[in-house]
Chain A
Amino acid sequence: MSAAVVPGDAGRGGLRVRDLRVDTREGVPVIEHLDLDVPAGRVLGLVGESGSGKTTAGLAMLAHTRGGLRIAAGSVVLDGTDLARLSETELRQWRGARVSYVPQDPTTALNPALRVGHQVREVLDHHESGIAVAERWRRVQAAFEEVGLPTDEKFMRRYPHELSGGQQQRIGIAMAFVTWPALVVLDEPTTGLDVSTQSLVLKTVRQLTDRHGCAAIYISHDLAVVVEVADEIAVLYAGAVVEQGPAAELVGRPRHPYTSRLIAAVPDLDGRRELKGIAGAAPSPDTRPDGCRFAPRCELAIDDCTRELPPFQDVGQGHSARCIRAGDVRPAEVRDRMTQAADETPEPLLVVEGLDAGYGPTHVLRDLSLVIPGGSCVALLGESGSGKTTLARTLAGLHHQAAGTLRFSGEDLPFGSHARSRAVRAAISYVFQNPYSSLNPRRTVGDSIARPLRVLRGVDRTTARRRAAEMLERVYLSADYADRYPDQLSGGERQRVAVARALISEPALLVCDEITSALDVSVQANIVELIDEMRHELGLTLLFVTHDIALVRNVAQQVAVLQGGAIVEDAPTERLFTDPAHTYTREMLDRTPTLAS
């Protein structure tokens, strides 16, 4: 082990990463030029969108790589020891003991066949075998207590599937902290959790790093979450850190165009910034351009940008950016958004009265009533399990087990698409959450878009193809996309196709079910822009279903808050945000992380 000890850097030295590179088997770098410093007791936020290499970077902190990747160069020095130079046997002494990892999805990361208490104790069994078993149990109990889990025997003997998602994630955190490590890497630990659970987990992480004086790396795609928990932030784009600095400083005064645009794409809870996406898509490792990776999407790019990867420029206050035009980067514009006031007493397009819906014996919606005025955008806000998708699907005729009345344009609307007339089926369109599963992989894009026209409007093949090509252009894809298959498209492009398919039958009501939740923030903003534009151009009425309260402020004129299958608050957007009436709404507003904090 002596070879790996870096002189003069022993003790509680925190983490120091220098010039780290991880390659694929073919030698293509997935991450490179990675330099990070995390002192003991500090939290570094590592922010990146999908494909940026953030998980690869996180695992590399444990000198671990996955699926044919390998650490090709550089050092990962923790407490004076370079982990990248240790053998697997030596690393085993470190992993779990001095450096630990909290994975993204606790449902798959816990062994389904082992009791949770044992799973946590196992770490001590291997790393602290010197202490008595009873003492190890006490340590496990203490760890459970620290993360706010019950410590009784009965809870310890549970299996992972008997716990909620939030509890499972806390088990993962307890497991990471039980050995009092020097470094903890947390990889999107709150993704998929509700806002309130997320806020608890974030608080716990912060407390634990303070109490144990350990360094932590918090990886996330969500800049707002990272700002909440991190002291410093490093922004990762296409395998390289493009900007790093103190959290508030970096968010308030971004000096890399990507950071600046990323901030603009994050929905603003205060509603003072206009939501703006980034055109194009991030390159995959084998298509990364020479020079600055962001140059092809950058508005400030000049010829010099494409020559070589720009070095870090110190912009003061411990803040540096990999941009030769760092001085010209401006923060996202803050300006008074047009308050999207609802039109004067519009006719209601859809009226829901006393709706009950469920699956088998389970009731999901109870006596629910809702009015959607014509020409406006109504947001349906709810967390997972609130019944929002069930409501959306019932309206679209995809859920039959329901009772109550639906009225559409003054006419009775039956449940189930088969009971509805062709005209009504054409008038209510649906865009699904996941663009990766909502397009038939065996149909060309043009075919998928033309289908509703042929089925619902009886249009002939040639005309339908022509109209589909026009529709593609309207959603800012070129007409030659018509001959492509979905697997040749990026997530954002697929969702545009899904929108085109929903709009081609010229519907009056468009139901959007979490349509951006599978997309990166920069792409999400683009889709939201598109939807908004279409609404104005086509005079659509929108039901925008989402779990993201910040997003709501940027799209809707009216918000219905759904909790436990009932609408607890229904108000115009501005009033809901300035003067929330229900405690649940207030709680959500309080606990949603914002960039401003």
Chain B
Amino acid sequence: MTERQDISGWEFAEPEVRATGRARGLLRNALRVRRTQVGLVITALVVGLAVVGPFLAPYSETEFVGRPLAQNAPGTLFGTDYLGRDVFSRLLNGGVSVLILAVLCTLLGVGVGLLVALVAGYGRGWVDELLMRISDVLLAFPAIVLALLFLAIWGPEPWAIVLTVGAGHVPRVARVLRAAVLDVSSLDYVRSAEAMGLRRWSIRFGDLLPNVTGPLMVEAGLRLTYSVALVAGLGFLGLSGLEADQADWGLMINENRTGLTVQPWAVLLPVLAIGLLTIGTNLVADGIARAAAGIERRADR
């Protein structure tokens, strides 16, 4: 143990490290990062399109407006899909479900992951051990395989999608946040709270949680990105959680991909929408990570 350290930081010519800034300060710092700004603009555009879209769509998502896979069908902006429905109207209608499901998956995954982390990162030895063993084992499932198995059994219901995708996030979120909680719980201000005789849960929420908001926000951003990708991917596999003829970006790609040569719009537009959305959310997550000093972007999914 080093009895005495040069903590001022200047000897190493680093600016003062603010390991844990206050949450508001962190967001403000994140907003100063260029990629956060770009990410927010992109995300807002795609979300705006998905939310306002259904009200602007020229046709109903189920209406047949021309012959199938026509690039220049009269009265359409981007032609028709494989059944002769308006591609643009289906694009405008197909985002809401992806968004809602992805947000719910993220909330579930990050919320439960956080609770597990708070218990496992600051608890008695065997609880920690047990929870982490379980999450180790669950990590063995690539998230989509896990989701597919249960969705095949339960059917592609919206609640089943939220449950399986969200549950897939839990072990990964728990692992990252537990490491953060473990770091914080070794610090003396936690000892100080213990010496006052405070209850564990009051220390968890009063001392630990406020000091892991950095990694928590980064995780939320990352998980949102992966949730969008997974939900859209399930839609691509035909597991969208919607009625058969309803529009869904992932589904649109799958049903129209055989016509890619003759009518690329029907595939490219939803691909663009999904791609922009994931890029946007991931840029925001990266911006937050950069703002929160010392939090390295995670390298696994």
Chain A residues near B (Cβ < 8 Å)? 24, 30, 50-51, 53-56, 65-69, 104-105, 188, 191-192, 221, 284-285, 384-385, 393, 396-398, 417-418, 420, 422, 425, 428-430, 432-434, 436-442, 448, 451-452, 455-456, 485, 487, 491, 501, 514, 517-518, 547
CB closest chain-B residue, reference A520: B8
Distance to closest chain A CB from B4 (angstroms) = 5
| B18/A191 in contact, CB under 8 A | no
Which residues 216-251 of B have a CB within 8 angstroms of A?
A: none
Pick from B2, B13, B197: contact of A422, CB below 8 A.
Answer: B197
- CB-CB under 8 A for A191 and B12, given A417-B197, A442-B20, A442-B22: no
- CB-CB under 8 A for A50 and B7, given A24-B13, A440-B211: yes
* A contact residues around B1 at 8 Å (CB): 192, 384-385
* B contact residues around A393 at 8 Å (CB): 191
User: For the complex, what is the distance from the CA of A496 to the CA of B211, rounded to whole Å?
Assistant: 22
Pick from A66, A188, A397, A517: contact of B13, CB below 8 A.
Answer: A66
* A contact residues around B198 at 8 Å (CB): 455
* A contact residues around B300 at 8 Å (CB): none
| B192/A430 in contact, CB under 8 A | yes
| A491/B189 in contact, CB under 8 A | no
User: For the complex, what is the distance from the CA of A501 to the CA of B192, rounded to whole Å?
Assistant: 10
By CB atoms of chain A within 10 A, which of B13, B21, B207, B211 has the most? B13
| B191/A485 in contact, CB under 8 A | no
Which residues 11-40 of B have a CB within 8 angstroms of A?
A: 11-14, 16, 18-23
- CB-CB under 8 A for A514 and B3, given A24-B13, A55-B11, A67-B14: yes
| A491/B2 in contact, CB under 8 A | no
User: For the complex, what is the distance from the CA of A434 to the CA of B189, rounded to whole Å?
Assistant: 10
Given A284-B10, A397-B195, A517-B3, 7 extra CB contacts under 8 A = A398-B191, A429-B195, A430-B195, A436-B7, A440-B210, A442-B211, A518-B7
| B188/A433 in contact, CB under 8 A | yes
Pairs A–B under 8 Å by Cβ, sample size 17: A51-B11, A54-B11, A65-B13, A104-B6, A191-B3, A284-B10, A384-B3, A393-B191, A398-B194, A440-B207, A440-B210, A442-B20, A442-B23, A448-B189, A455-B197, A456-B197, A514-B3
Distance to closest chain A CB from B293 (angstroms) = 11
| B7/A451 in contact, CB under 8 A | no
CB closest chain-B residue, reference A191: B4
User: For the complex, what is the distance from the CA of A285 to the CA of B8, rounded to whole Å?
Assistant: 12
Pick from A50, A191, A491, A547: contact of B10, CB below 8 A.
Answer: A50
- Can you list, as one digit per residue, whether each of B191-207 has a CB less than 8 Å from chain A (1) or not (0)? 11111111000000001
| B11/A56 in contact, CB under 8 A | yes
- CB-CB under 8 A for A67 and B13, given A425-B197, A430-B195: yes
- Can you list, as one digit per residue, whether each of B180-195 has a CB less than 8 Å from chain A (1) or not (0)? 0000000111011111
* B contact residues around A54 at 8 Å (CB): 11
| B197/A485 in contact, CB under 8 A | no
User: Within 8 Å of chain A (Cβ to Cβ): is B261?
Assistant: no
User: For the complex, what is the distance from the CA of A517 to the CA of B6, rounded to whole Å?
Assistant: 10
The B contact surface, by secondary structure, is loop
Chain B residues near A (Cβ < 8 Å)? 1-8, 10-14, 16, 18-23, 187-189, 191-198, 207, 210-211
Distance to closest chain A CB from B157 (angstroms) = 41
User: For the complex, what is the distance from the CA of A455 to the CA of B4, rounded to whole Å?
Assistant: 32
| A438/B211 in contact, CB under 8 A | no
* A contact residues around B188 at 8 Å (CB): 432-434, 437-438
- CB-CB under 8 A for A50 and B6, given A397-B195, A418-B197: yes
User: For the complex, what is the distance from the CA of A441 to the CA of B12, rounded to whole Å?
Assistant: 22
* A contact residues around B197 at 8 Å (CB): 397, 417-418, 420, 422, 425, 455-456
| A51/B8 in contact, CB under 8 A | yes
| B210/A442 in contact, CB under 8 A | yes
| B196/A425 in contact, CB under 8 A | yes
| A441/B20 in contact, CB under 8 A | yes
- CB-CB under 8 A for A518 and B8, given A433-B188, A442-B20: no
User: For the complex, what is the distance from the CA of A192 to the CA of B6, rounded to whole Å?
Assistant: 11
User: For the complex, what is the distance from the CA of A438 to the CA of B188, rounded to whole Å?
Assistant: 4
Pick from B3, B21, B196, B207: contact of A417, CB below 8 A.
Answer: B196
- CB-CB under 8 A for A487 and B13, given A398-B194, A436-B7, A442-B210: no
* B contact residues around A442 at 8 Å (CB): 20, 22-23, 210-211
Smallest CB-CB A-B distances: 6 pairs: A438-B188, A67-B13, A192-B2, A442-B210, A432-B188, A50-B8
| B191/A50 in contact, CB under 8 A | no
By CB atoms of chain B within 10 A, which of A385, A442, A517 has the most? A442
* B contact residues around A456 at 8 Å (CB): 196-197
User: For the complex, what is the distance from the CA of A484 to the CA of B7, rounded to whole Å?
Assistant: 20
* B contact residues around A191 at 8 Å (CB): 2-4
Distance to closest chain B CB from A592 (angstroms) = 13
Distance to closest chain B CB from A323 (angstroms) = 24
* B contact residues around A487 at 8 Å (CB): 16, 18, 21
* B contact residues around A547 at 8 Å (CB): 3
Distance to closest chain A CB from B191 (angstroms) = 6
- CB-CB under 8 A for A285 and B3, given A420-B197, A438-B188: no
| B22/A485 in contact, CB under 8 A | yes
| B21/A437 in contact, CB under 8 A | no
- CB-CB under 8 A for A432 and B192, given A191-B2, A485-B22, A518-B7: yes
* A contact residues around B207 at 8 Å (CB): 440
Distance to closest chain B CB from A202 (angstroms) = 16
Distance to closest chain A CB from B13 (angstroms) = 4
CB closest chain-A residue, reference B207: A440
User: For the complex, what is the distance from the CA of A441 to the CA of B292, rounded to whole Å?
Assistant: 14
Distance to closest chain B CB from A492 (angstroms) = 11
* B contact residues around A53 at 8 Å (CB): 10-11
Pick from B4, B10, B191: contact of A192, CB below 8 A.
Answer: B4
| A69/B13 in contact, CB under 8 A | yes
* A contact residues around B211 at 8 Å (CB): 440-442
Distance to closest chain B CB from A380 (angstroms) = 15
CB closest chain-A residue, reference B20: A441
| B196/A452 in contact, CB under 8 A | yes
CB closest chain-A residue, reference B7: A436
* A contact residues around B10 at 8 Å (CB): 30, 50-51, 53, 284-285
User: For the complex, what is the distance from the CA of A433 to the CA of B189, rounded to whole Å?
Assistant: 11
* B contact residues around A501 at 8 Å (CB): 192
User: For the complex, what is the distance from the CA of A54 to the CA of B207, rounded to whole Å?
Assistant: 37
Pick from A55, A432, A451: contact of B12, CB below 8 A.
Answer: A55
| A518/B13 in contact, CB under 8 A | no
* B contact residues around A420 at 8 Å (CB): 197
* A contact residues around B3 at 8 Å (CB): 191-192, 384, 514, 517, 547
* B contact residues around A518 at 8 Å (CB): 4-5, 7
User: For the complex, what is the distance from the CA of A514 to the CA of B4, rounded to whole Å?
Assistant: 10
- CB-CB under 8 A for A438 and B21, given A30-B13, A54-B11: no
User: For the complex, what is the distance from the CA of A513 to the CA of B10, rounded to whole Å?
Assistant: 26
Distance to closest chain B CB from A341 (angstroms) = 30
| A398/B195 in contact, CB under 8 A | yes
Distance to closest chain B CB from A451 (angstroms) = 7
User: For the complex, what is the distance from the CA of A464 to the CA of B7, rounded to whole Å?
Assistant: 31
- CB-CB under 8 A for A451 and B195, given A67-B12, A547-B3: no
Pick from B19, B21, B191: contact of A432, CB below 8 A.
Answer: B191
Distance to closest chain A CB from B213 (angstroms) = 8
Distance to closest chain B CB from A70 (angstroms) = 10
* A contact residues around B189 at 8 Å (CB): 437-440, 448
